[in-house]
Amino acid sequence: MNRSFPTTLGEKILLSRSGTSSRVLIRPAWILMLLGAGLLIWMRSYWIARLGNEAFVTGYALLLICFALAALGIRKRIHAFRLGPVAVWQSAHHYLGAFCLFAYVLHAGFMPDGWIESILGMLFWTILGTGFLSWYVNRNSPRLLRAAGPAILRSDIPHAKILVGEQACQLAIQAAGSTNSAVIADYYRTKLADFFSTSRPWLYRTFPTGKKRRQLISDLENLERYLDDRGKVLMERMSQLVHDRDDLDFQSAIQNRMRFCAALHTFLLGAFTVFVIAHVWLAHQYSSHW
């Protein structure tokens, strides 16, 4: 795998030092995380040792991490300055998210009691969970997309689908003009017209597979015995169009899935912020000491 630019924080750090294989690249980020965890544990112990309220240490550390996590969204909206590639920021976001989990457990355990704290806890776990889901999807999607033909932007896919559909339609008209290839036109009318003109079902958009494509291409190949040489050429072109259309559907499903996870990850952030502010204020109001 050749990469022309670093895409993760680990790569960025290590490439600046040596630039070796990807397995080695991840290590510095984990080392940083371990150092951060050690620092947090030490600060907590120090605070306990001076008879302070250690919940404030872990709480404010958590708040700081949340601000750092929110920086990715800000970075994406700022284009005026040279702040480095978003991929590096995103990688840092992922590692900070993992570190956030540690800080949260240190601060509040798995799930706190109380109304506000419980709601806050649930929001946290939801955001963190969708964050991890996004992380997983983001890591796996490029490989899947590369396997599904040339890269295409999500916003260009509808137009590309129309083009493929139009080509398929013209091909079917050509096939209808000859007796030895009319079966292609018949097949287009009965099966392929819907395939090229309608959206794929919900199940496919969630978990895309090549089953439909394989079935259609197999059906087309079964028509070969009714075709002459020209008809066989038309059939191969139709098979290619089915393949292209399926790739577009596949890319659309994968990219939509990524977008959906990202949307799920962010749409509770506002509520989370409100409850965080309320929690911090109440903690200061009710606690007798830091």
Partner 1 sequence: MEPTKYYRSPHQAYRCGLANVGRPCPNGPLGRRCGQSQSDPETCYPIRTLYGWSRLGAWITTLFSLLFVLALLPTWKKKSSLVPGALSMAHAQLLHGTEDHSRFSIKESERCAACHPNVQTMGSKPEGHLASVKIGGQSQLCMRCHIHTIPNGYEGSPHDLTGEDLQELLATVAYPTPKKIANQTTECSQCHREHQGSGENLQTISSERCQACHRKQFESFSKGHPDLENYPEARPRSIAFDHGRHRDLHFAKKNATFDCRTCHLSTSENSVVGNVFRSVTFEQACAQCHLEPLRSAMEEGIAVIQLPSLDRRRLEQQGLSLGPWPEAASQIMDGKLAPLLIEWIATTTEGREVLNRLPRSGQLRDVDLNDRAQAENVTHLAELIRSQLQQLAIEGQPYLRRNLENQTAKYLEANPKRMAKYVSQDTQAPPSSFATVSIDAPRETMLSLWLNQMAGGVPPDMLRLAYENWYGKPAEGSNRLATRTIKQPTRGRYTRWQSSSDATDESLLLEPSKSPDSLLQDSDDLLSLPKPLDQTKAENSANPNTARSIRPLKAWEHLPYGGWFLDETRVAMVYVPQGHADTWLTRWLEWKTLQSNDEEPGWFDDSLSKQCLQCHSVGKDRIAGLFEGNPRTKDPSLVAFHPPDSPSSQQLNACWRIYQRSTAERALTRFSHTPHLTIPTLRDCQTCHHFQAQKGSRDPAFGWSQQGMIVHHEFESMQRSHCASCHTKQSAGDSCTQCHNYHVDLFSHKH
Closer CB to partner 1, residue 15 or residue 119? 119
* 116 is a contact residue toward partner 1 (CB under 8 A): yes
User: For residue 25, which of 56, 3, 53 has the smallest C-alpha distance?
Assistant: 3
Q: Site for partner 1 (CB under 8 A): which residue of 23, 77, 82, 225?
A: 77
Closer CB to partner 1, residue 45 or residue 140? 45
Q: Site for partner 1 (CB under 8 A): which residue of 1, 4, 18, 51?
A: 51
* 288 is a contact residue toward partner 1 (CB under 8 A): yes
* 285 is a contact residue toward partner 1 (CB under 8 A): yes
Q: How many residues bind partner 1 (CB under 8 A)?
A: 45
Query: Which ranges in 78-114 belong to alpha helices (H)?
Result: 86-108
With b meaning 16 or more CB within 10 Å and e meaning fewer, what string describes 208-229?
beeebbeebbeebeebeeebee
* 286 is a contact residue toward partner 1 (CB under 8 A): yes
Annotate each residue in 218-257 with x if it binds partner 1 (CB under 8 A) or - if it does not, as one string: --------------------------------------x-
Classified as helix, coil or strand, 257 is helix
Q: Are 120 and 279 in contact (CB under 8 A)?
A: yes
Residues found in the chain: 290
* 110 is a contact residue toward partner 1 (CB under 8 A): no
**Helix 54-77 crosses helix 269-286 at what angle (to 10 degrees)?**
150
- Tokens 């050509």, located at residue: 174
Binding site for partner 1 (CB under 8 A): 45, 48-53, 76-77, 112-117, 153-156, 158-159, 162-163, 256, 259-260, 262-264, 266-271, 273-275, 278, 282, 285-289
